[in-house]
Amino acid sequence: MYASLSDRISDSFKKLRGKGVLRDSDVDQTVGEIRRALIDADVALPVVREFAQRVREQAYGAARSKSLNPAQQVVKIVNQELVEILGGETRELTFAQRGPTVFMLAGLQGAGKTTFAGKLGKWLAEDGKRVLLVASDLQRPNAVTQLQIVGERAGVDVWAPEPGNGVGDPVEVARSGLSHAIRNGYDVVLVDTAGRLGVDEELMEQARQIRDAVNPHEIMFVLDAMIGQDAVHTATAFKDGVGFTGVVLTKLDGDARGGAALSVRGVTGAPILFASTGEGIKDIERFHADRMASRILDMGDMLTLIEQAEKAFDAKESEEMTGKLLSGQFTLDDFLTQMQQIRKLGSMKKMLGMLPGAGKIREQLENFDEREIDRIEAIVKSMTPAERANVKLLDGSRRERIARGSGTSVSDVKGLVTRFEAAQKMMKSVGNGGGIPGMGNIPGMPSGRGSKRAQAKAQKKAAKNRRAKSGNPAKQAALAKQKGNGTPGAAFGGGAAFGAPAGNSQVPNQNPQIDENDLPPLPDDVKRMLGQL
């Protein structure tokens, strides 16, 4: 949703990074570009003005300071102000100390209240809560039926004593639903209320009556993130007419400009509690202002990605799989298991979009075919258990059979096997301490057969350096003086690195005394960083 806004803000920062020193005019130009980008994204004008003013005031100070990198200071200021207008620190939900907690959902028709009720019910159930959905939307055709279907998908109970479609009293349904929850020991009650195509007094009055009947702990205003500037007027009307304690943004996976998220907090003062990011029953996230700001600035959202992975992956199974990977015993059966776990996280596009710098490969992400995973799974499942355990068995006739069984081509099967063998070989090299090709050894990994070539290469280079030394003692002394006394660790008493005497790395460090006057002076920039200037 924020692709255009993210791209334009990132472009404005690129111009700053090319400057060694920032002037006030540079700040004005950058803030002006960000201001126009926010307006084009349908952010409310009062919010844009306040944001631009605060960024400009702080950025002037960064431009005048003797900071090592004033451009990074401006990026930091923009990030902080984005976090502020998005709501600052995440607020926890309010739960009842005794009895069921009541959450009431309000908003316009079509905003996604009923669907969100099921998502929130599923989210709470996974946290160990016993949830009851209450069908108090008796106005919209088939709203009760939709809530029953959504509740079944979410695995939570639904209270629907009235058929809806204009029949029944929504206030009485809400009241009886709460009584039913109290009698049957439910932890949370979610009351789904009716909406209208626009704000009117009848809608407000019904919402107020339901609010007074169930006395909710949270009133969540469900807002369609795609409605643009009208979000401000709708949110203000509900705030004045009914009141709400938090906002839920739906359809954040859409392609609209998405100014609602950046406007609603500044206009209403109510925090954003949840974000609905897709059509699936699990496509719901707690809204974190700092993470959303990070996404907008193309810095990624690794925390959300990690949280989702922790829910989807079994820790013990993942540890065992890592051992197989590093020992080279990873099979296609293991690969299939890992892929099925990854699919629990949801859309691959969405996951890859949370990585830092995803904006640079946005076009590739948009063209990514989610069905490719289905094709890979079909290929692997078309193999026999023996073939999955040992891909060396796959000759031409076997590949033909697998291609027919999976509905793919022989080249597809061959390509998958080739990539798998390459990955298997690389991970075995990593496990033996050889490192990833082109990246050297991995710190902390054991040194094994995979590192022998690297060790021989290092020894050959060291011998060459020794031969290259001048035989003239005077010239050798001059070179040593020029290079800061020659060998690494000379400043620590004249020996090899880490204080060991040269030529014998097995001798322990003798803790030589260091004379501070013998050390070279620190550059001024480093002194500033350490606070010495």
Task: Report the CATH number that the domain containing residue 161 is assigned in CATH.
Answer: 3.40.50.300
Backbone angles phi, psi at 448, to 5 degrees: -130, -155
pLDDT in tens, 487-504: 433 333 333 333 333 334
For residues 103 and 190, is the Cβ–Cβ distance under 8 A?
Answer: yes
Residues 319 and 286 both lie in one domain: no
Residues 15 and 53 both lie in one domain: yes
Q: What are the C-alpha distances in Å from 132 to residues 138, 164, 177, 248, 428?
A: 17, 18, 8, 19, 51
DSSP code of residue 245: S
Whole-prediction pTM value? 0.59
pLDDT in tens, 183-201: 999 999 999 999 877 777 8
Helix or strand holding residue 309 (H, E): helix 302-312
527: tokens are 């002194």
Residues 401 and 325 both lie in one domain: yes
Q: What is the dihedral of CA 375, 379, 380, 384, to 10 degrees?
A: 160
Domain count, the chain: 3
Distance CA 171, CA 209 (A): 6
For residues 240 and 21, is the Cβ–Cβ distance under 8 A?
Answer: no
Distance CA 238, CA 246 (A): 12
Q: Is residue 477 part of a domain?
A: no
Task: Report the CATH number that the domain containing residue 58 is assigned in CATH.
Answer: 1.20.120.140
Residues 139 and 40 both lie in one domain: no
Q: Is residue 179 part of a domain?
A: yes
Q: Is residue 504 part of a domain?
A: no
Q: Is residue 460 part of a domain?
A: no
- Residues flagged as binding site: 107-114, 192-196, 250-253
Burial (0-12, 13-18, 19+ Cβ within 10 Å), 461 = exposed
Residue at 67: amino acid letter: S
What confidence score (pLDDT) does residue 111 get? 86
Distance CA 180, CA 253 (A): 36
Buried residues in 504-525 as b, exposed as e (16+ CB within 10 A) = eeeeeeeeeeeeeeeeeeeeee
Residues 120 and 157 both lie in one domain: yes
Q: Is residue 77 part of a domain?
A: yes
| pLDDT tens track, the chain, 533 positions | 566 677 777 777 777 766 667 777 878 888 888 888 888 877 878 888 888 888 888 888 766 665 556 677 778 888 888 888 777 788 889 999 888 999 999 988 888 899 999 999 999 999 999 999 999 999 888 999 999 999 999 999 999 999 888 888 999 999 999 999 999 999 999 999 998 777 778 888 889 999 999 999 999 999 887 776 677 778 888 888 888 999 998 887 665 556 766 777 777 888 889 988 888 888 888 888 777 777 777 665 555 555 566 655 565 665 665 666 556 567 888 777 777 776 666 666 666 665 665 555 556 666 666 677 788 888 988 999 898 888 888 898 999 999 999 898 999 899 888 888 877 777 666 555 544 444 344 334 344 444 445 555 556 655 555 555 445 555 555 555 554 444 433 333 333 333 333 334 333 444 444 444 444 454 554 444 444 44
Last residue of a domain, one of 86, 121, 149: 86
Distance CA 391, CA 418 (A): 10
Domain containing residue 7:
3-86
Residues 82 and 106 both lie in one domain: no
DSSP code of residue 500: P
Cβ neighbours of residue 2 closer than 8 Å, sequence gap 6 or more: 41, 258, 295, 296
CA–CA–CA angle 334, 339, 342 (5° rounding) = 130
164: tokens are 């809806």
Helix or strand holding residue 449 (H, E): none
DSSP string of 406-420, one letter each residue = HTS-HHHHHHHHHHH
Last residue of a domain, one of 86, 112, 130: 86
Cβ neighbours of residue 319 closer than 8 Å, sequence gap 6 or more: none
Instruction: Give me the sign of the Cα torsion angle 336, 337, 338, 339.
Output: positive
Strands in 101-106's sheet, in edge-to-edge order, are 157-159, 131-136, 188-193, 101-106, 218-224, 246-250, 272-276, 284-286
CA atoms within 13 A on the CB side of 376: 20
Residues 55 and 198 both lie in one domain: no
Helix or strand holding residue 343 (H, E): helix 332-343
Residues 241 and 130 both lie in one domain: yes
Residues 82 and 175 both lie in one domain: no
Residues 78 and 107 both lie in one domain: no
Task: Report the CATH number that the domain containing residue 407 is assigned in CATH.
Answer: 1.10.260.30
Distance CA 189, CA 183 (A): 12
What confidence score (pLDDT) does residue 170 get? 93
3-state secondary structure string across 49-98: HHHHHHHHHHHHHHHHCCCCCHHHHHHHHHHHHHHHHHCCCCCCCCCCCC
Q: Is residue 163 part of a domain?
A: yes
Distance CA 379, CA 390 (A): 15
Distance CA 238, CA 243 (A): 6
Residues 246 and 273 both lie in one domain: yes
- Residues flagged as binding site for GTP: 107-114, 192-196, 250-253
Q: Is residue 295 part of a domain?
A: no
Last residue of a domain, one of 19, 54, 86: 86
Q: Is residue 503 part of a domain?
A: no
Distance CA 521, CA 236 (A): 62
For residues 134 and 173, is the Cβ–Cβ distance under 8 A?
Answer: yes
For residues 136 and 211, is the Cβ–Cβ distance under 8 A?
Answer: no
Q: How far is CA 131 from the centre of its chain?
A: 28
Q: Give the pairing of strands 272-276 and 284-286.
A: antiparallel
For residues 147 and 135, is the Cβ–Cβ distance under 8 A?
Answer: yes
> Quick one: angle between helices 371-381 and 396-406, nearest 10?
130
What confidence score (pLDDT) does residue 128 get? 92
158: tokens are 């639904």
What Rg, from alpha-carbon coordinates, does the chain have? 31
What confidence score (pLDDT) does residue 450 get? 41
Distance CA 198, CA 449 (A): 71
Strand partners, 246: 220
Residues 109 and 81 both lie in one domain: no
Provide the terminal-to-terminal Cα distance of the chain, rounded to the nearest Å: 46
